[in-house]
Chains A and B, each alone.
Chain A
């Protein structure tokens, strides 16, 4: 079972990364997050929408209404689009994550070599 503490604090990075590729609405974000992580990350709507609102109030995303792309054409959805400051924030978070994950990899690899 996935340890949620590993993603805590990095969910905003994952969400921003998804909408960097394509503007998405809330349901699509949850769907894509599950699909692209092979069901490792399963974000609830109750966690996603407050997060999106916070990203919007910080200026990292902007929103607009547009018809949903799929099943119910004509019913508008609120799409989220990353902004320039959102991209800068995403770069920052991604670089922090890379440092963090490299550090963990180094320790784990060193530990394996010692064990062998």
Chain B
């Protein structure tokens, strides 16, 4: 066996055989300490230090053999069921578009490609940097939202829909997760919730300005999830002063929003009024259809054409019955099952919270989309994730998939990796 004069040379040799670079430090840290313990045990028996070190390394065995064993043990996880199911959903979406006789738009194809590339890049993303630089991520995110909003609003606030601004806002729950975890380091525990509320308010105001009720609802729901988790982990505590501060903040924000509505004539939910009539038509048609559908959907009016393009699940239901919706629901149940497996395997707060938030976001979209296509609600109009999605929505959901795949990939080493970085002094 090759002779080593220092532990570091031996460890470096072992690490050469571990393919996953991120796991190298974690995999070999215990070996370094083990050699130290062995050396000290030999020195207690009267062996000289340099001899003891050489003997301790020799008892470990060949660096190549250990490296190969550790390489097999430390492998990044690829969540093939989740990737396969996402791909299946996208294919189902294409088939549904064909079955409902709508032409498949090229822009959607481009969106699928762009989304898949972003998901692939995010799979390699070190999501733990969200704790490392939370304020930077938050304020850069807010700045990008402000710039995009200003760009989209240049024609007037009430004239257009804020596609890009909305989807950027819908990524705030992920950014807020990093902020929340960073708040744990604040010594004044009773003020942490107030700090969180201050960070959460800005995206909510932006969502109000773009007049998007689903975005506001989703941000509020995810904020509640984060707060409840924070209370459960005892990061957030309540005191009289913090409750008073929160009440004052809520009053201030409400006043601000009323003021903005008056000054800028935002008319929150105005766009929902136009869908109310369409949904009443959908409800009437669904009420007349059988469980297995009518096998055809005849376009007789402009409303029917609108239903064909904007409510394809309703068309599917009318053509093929409730059975088709049950199939779609079952597939989403399977997706939620896979998400739940990822959540329960997380050993770090950041992994747990991010995967939980993404599950909540996708579940919310699904529930709203089904209710909307059944004509039950017109306030929470959302696309069915992956299946019936416009271009930007597809990209957004694939970004979420990329992030959760990254969480799943690193779940075995994340706990050790965060501790390792803290010990190495990387986290300030």
Which residue of chain A lies nearest to B43 when distances are taken between CB atoms in the complex? A71
Tell me which of B61-69, B192-200, B254-262 binds A.
Answer: B61-69
How many chain B residues touch the partner (CB < 8 A)? 27
Q: Mark A40-58, 1 if CB is under 8 A from B, else 0.
A: 0000111101100110110
Say whether B73 faces chain A, with CB atoms less than 8 Å apart. yes
Say whether B341 faces chain A, with CB atoms less than 8 Å apart. no
Q: Mark A3-46, 1 if CB is under 8 A from B, else 0.
A: 00000000000000000000001110000000000000000111
| Given contact pairs A44-B61, A45-B60, A54 touches B73 in the complex (Cβ within 8 A) | yes
Say whether B285 faces chain A, with CB atoms less than 8 Å apart. no
Which residue of chain A lies nearest to B419 when distances are taken between CB atoms in the complex? A65
Please, how many angstroms separate the alpha-carbon atoms of A86 and B412 in the complex? 17
| Given contact pairs A26-B30, A26-B34, A27-B33, A46 touches B66 in the complex (Cβ within 8 A) | yes
Say whether A87 faces chain B, with CB atoms less than 8 Å apart. no
Partner of A27 from B34, B66, B69, B73 at Cβ < 8 Å: B34
Query: Are A53 and B33 closer than 8 Å at their CB atoms?
Result: no
Please, how many angstroms separate the alpha-carbon atoms of A50 and B41 in the complex? 23
Say whether B31 faces chain A, with CB atoms less than 8 Å apart. yes
Assuming A26-B34, A65-B419, what are 13 further A-B pairs, CB within 8 angstroms? A25-B33, A27-B34, A44-B59, A45-B34, A45-B59, A46-B62, A46-B65, A49-B73, A50-B69, A53-B73, A63-B415, A75-B36, A77-B33
Query: Are B33 and A47 closer than 8 Å at their CB atoms?
Result: no
Q: Mark B339-355, 1 if CB is under 8 A from A, else 0.
A: 00000000000000000
Which residue of chain B lies nearest to A48 when distances are taken between CB atoms in the complex? B34
Partner of A50 from B40, B73, B412, B415 at Cβ < 8 Å: B73
- How many residue pairs link A and B with beta carbons under 8 A? The number is 61
Say whether A93 faces chain B, with CB atoms less than 8 Å apart. no
Query: Are B31 and A45 closer than 8 Å at their CB atoms?
Result: yes
- Chain B residue numbers with a CB within 8 Å of A45 are 31, 34, 59-61, 66
| Given contact pairs A46-B61, A65-B419, A27 touches B37 in the complex (Cβ within 8 A) | yes
- Chain B residue numbers with a CB within 8 Å of A25 are 30, 33
Query: Are A27 and B38 closer than 8 Å at their CB atoms?
Result: yes
- Chain B residue numbers with a CB within 8 Å of A63 are 415-416
Return A24 CB to nearest CB of chain B, in Å.
Answer: 12
Say whether A72 faces chain B, with CB atoms less than 8 Å apart. yes
- Chain B residue numbers with a CB within 8 Å of A53 are 27, 70, 73-74, 412
Please, how many angstroms separate the alpha-carbon atoms of A42 and B30 in the complex? 18
| Given contact pairs A71-B40, A72-B36, A72-B40, A47 touches B31 in the complex (Cβ within 8 A) | no
Say whether B150 faces chain A, with CB atoms less than 8 Å apart. no
Query: Are B40 and A78 closer than 8 Å at their CB atoms?
Result: no
Q: List 18 A-B contacts (CB under 8 A).
A: A25-B33, A26-B34, A27-B33, A27-B37, A44-B61, A45-B31, A45-B60, A46-B62, A46-B66, A46-B69, A49-B27, A50-B72, A53-B27, A63-B415, A65-B419, A71-B44, A77-B33, A78-B33
